[in-house]
Structure 1
Amino acid sequence: MIRLWRWIISIVRPVKVDPNPMTVQQALAAGTAILKQADIPDPARDARLLMAACLGVDAGRLTLHVQDNMDAAAEAVFMADVQRRAGGQPMSHLLGYRDFWSYRFKVTPDVLDPRPETETLIEAALAQPFDSVLDLGTGSGCILLTLLAERGGATGIGADASPAALHIAEQNAAELGVADRCALEVSDWYAGVEGTYDLIVSNPPYIAADEMPGLTAELFHEPRMALTDEADGRSCYRIITAGARAHLVQGGWLMVEIGPTQGAAVSQLFDAAGLTDVQIRTDLDGRDRVVIGQNPQQTA
């Protein structure tokens, strides 16, 4: 099947010379066909990114190499990655990174894959003044570290119950040059956190347990604890909103990402916690994506 025998054979014995090597263009066509058959949304794009990573070239310069012959080892790596992608493995796990906002974050199966819709939360946060930020369930650190990179001089804490996730966030903090302005703490939400902050942000697990079987295959490669609360999808919001005012300065803001059907329910939790100016922000597709609310100023 599309010369898959070649890289299978290479596993069991070396291939010294291939009398009919595939060109990069031919391999791209073969990989795209496999991904298309597997109903991957943008098969040509993914094939090009996998090929660029395989060859160690920038994806924008791949056109310069399409007539090059591929050696057996490179072809084997490319076709193996194509098969993994066809099986639903996220591109970020195959490439080892995900671009988010204007930064590149290391991503592994230990952290939630940063997604474009989360940039709605970044946009909302950057619209407010803040010098200190707390990120609950920081994962890869994409929210906290982006905010610190964009707001020079600000400091922050990233809290997560997963030491493995914090190890990835630590590497990302160093890569973005903000490690000296953030602390990463193993914490079950607020349990290990002290002090008050100008801003609290979170993208908590919001998928209900009974919705998990209907997820796409790609999501099953991500940490389950980052996807679902194993309940109704709102238990984490109850914890976050209940403790928010004790961890916010007067006038500080709480901002959380939500599922597109959760706007009204999460807004009610904000109201019940005593937060004011509660608003729902939509993403680029017009879906409810972020709820924000302010810790009220004390009046004389």
Structure 2
Amino acid sequence: MTGSELLVQGTRALVAAGVPEAGRDARRLMAHVLQVPAGRLTLLLPDPVSTAQAAQFEDLIARRRDRVPVSHLTGRRMFYGRDFRVTPEVLDPRPETETLIAAALARPFTHVLDLGTGSGCIVLTLVAECADARGIGVDLSGEALAIAAQNRASLGLDHRVALKQGNWFAPLADQGATFDLIVSNPPYIALQEMADLAPEVQWHEPRMALTDEGDGLAAYRAITAGADAHLAPGGRLMVEIGPTQGAAVGAMMDAAGLSDVAVLQDLDGRDRVVLGVKPVE
């Protein structure tokens, strides 16, 4: 059987199972099996595939039919031009989070703190983009930090990014460290919204990275309450939000004494990032 024939079979199976963007996913899985960049896949499709490759592809298609995310099947996800390791222990990096990256890079910084770092994609990207920057990633999950450490090593950033386990600012309590940039993509989905999530998210991503089991705003309360003690004067706090949370999170930043509070939109025109600045005294 050729790669083309196998790809058609896989695509049809995903379509029949109601998997969104079945053709794209089947191609990504085929490229993974053949161990080639997705851009070169078309050149190899006319060639026969081995029995082992066919069996691997069919297994991946079966798991994708069960709505396992493609990133979990391949173990990789591209984010801001870099390849990150992804497992069920971390939130799958999403394109809309690149809005936070772009906004953070709009001004220089040297010390960045990432709260709820997960795979490490935010802090590692920011530090990789800024030659003079150093960062700390904090997460409550030891399993997530293990993945972040693998990503840190693969990007050659072991000497510039530290990883600490704990809840929000707690691992920094005795250090007195301040940062000119604090970022976070915290759990912001309200409990009542969980049932509406896509199966890929609801069934396969870490629940603690998705929801606070309440109104979706608990993380922002904790982060804004602790920001002043950890921001340097003129430092920025930037958080990703759900599309309906801009006003509420902005009000928290105002109440915390931050200035220049603004809500930024993603490429789809949805509210995606709230930022505030610690005043310079």
TM-score range, shorter chain: over 0.9
Extract unaligned runs of 5+ from structure 2. none
Please point out which of 99, 104, 107 is paired with 1:125.
Answer: 104
Q: 2:39 aligns with which of 37, 45, 60?
A: 60
Post-superposition Cα deviations, 1:149-200, rounded to whole Å, max 9, x if no partner, equal: 0011211100000011011111111111111101100010011113110000
Report the counterpart of residue 251 of structure 2 in structure 1.
Answer: 268
Mapped pair 1:252 → 2:224: no
Match of residue 110 from structure 1: 89
> If the length of structure 1 is used for normalisation, what is the TM-score?
0.91
Post-superposition offset of 1:39: 2.4
Q: Which has the greater radius of gyration?
A: 1
Aligned residues: percent identity? Answer: 60
Secondary structure, aligned partner of 1:144: helix
Deviating more after overlay: 47-56 vs 153-162: 47-56
Aligned to 2:210: 227
Structure 1: stretches of 5+ with no match in the other structure? 1-21
**Distance in 1 between residues matched to 2:144 and 2:74, nearest whole Å:** 18
SS at match of 1:180: coil
Shift of 1:40: 2.2
Taking the aligned partners of 2:271 and 2:158, their CA distance within structure 1 comes to 32
Moved more, 112-121 or 186-195: 186-195
Cα displacement (A) at 1:119: 0.3
More moved, 67-76 vs 136-145: 67-76
Count of residues in Structure 1 that have an aligned counterpart in Structure 2: 277
1:215 matched residue in structure 2: 197
Q: TM-score, normalising length from structure 2?
A: 0.97
Q: Out of 128, 138, 142, which is 1:163 matched to?
A: 142
* Paired letter, 2:56: V
Structure-1 separation of matches of 2:53 and 2:120:
33
Of the three residues 127, 145, 148, the one matched with 1:148 is 127
CA distance in 2, matches of 1:213, 1:64: 42
CA distance in 2, matches of 1:101, 1:216: 23
CA distance in 2, matches of 1:264, 1:39: 36
- Deviation per residue, 1:244-292 (Å, 9 max, x gap): 0100000100000000010011101111111110000000000000000
Structure 2 residue identity aligned to 1:24: G
Q: Distance in 2 between matches of 1:124 and 1:57?
A: 33
Pairing 1:182–2:161 present: yes
C-alpha distance in structure 1 between counterparts of 2:106 and 2:70, whole Å? 31
Task: Map 1:183-198; keep pairs closer than 5 Å.
Answer: 183-193=162-172, 194=175, 195-198=177-180
User: CA shift at 1:71, angstroms?
Assistant: 2.5
Deviation digits for residues 214-251 of structure 1 (CA, Å, limit 9, x no counterpart): 21100020000000011100000000000001000001
Question: What amino acid is the match of 1:123?
Answer: A
Deviations 1:60-99 (A, max 9, x none): 2222222222222211110110111121111110111100
Q: Secondary structure at the match of 2:30?
A: helix
- 1:64 counterpart letter in structure 2: L
Q: What are the superposed Cα offsets for residues 120-151 of structure 1, whole Å, 9 maximum, x if unpaired?
A: 00011001221100000000000000000001
- In structure 2, how many angstroms separate the alpha carbons of the residues matched to 1:200 and 1:215? 28
Instruction: Give the match for residue 38 of structure 1.
Output: 17
Of the structure 1 ranges 109-118 and 76-85, higher mean CA displacement relative to structure 2 is found in 76-85
Return the alpha-carbon distance in structure 1 between the equivalents of residues 37 and 161 of structure 2: 31
What is the match of residue 200 of structure 1?
Answer: 182
Q: What is the identity, as a one-letter code, of the residue corresponding to 2:188?
A: Y
Q: Distance in 2 between matches of 1:70 and 1:119?
A: 37
Measured in 2, the distance between the counterparts of 1:258 and 1:83 equals: 34
User: Distance between the aligned counterparts of 2:223 and 2:254, measured in 1?
Assistant: 13
Matched position secondary structure for 1:178: coil
| CA distance in structure 2 between the partners assigned to 1:277 and 1:23 by the alignment | 58
List structure 1 runs of 4+ shifted beyond 4 angstroms.
Answer: none
Q: Which amino acid aligns with 1:142?
A: C
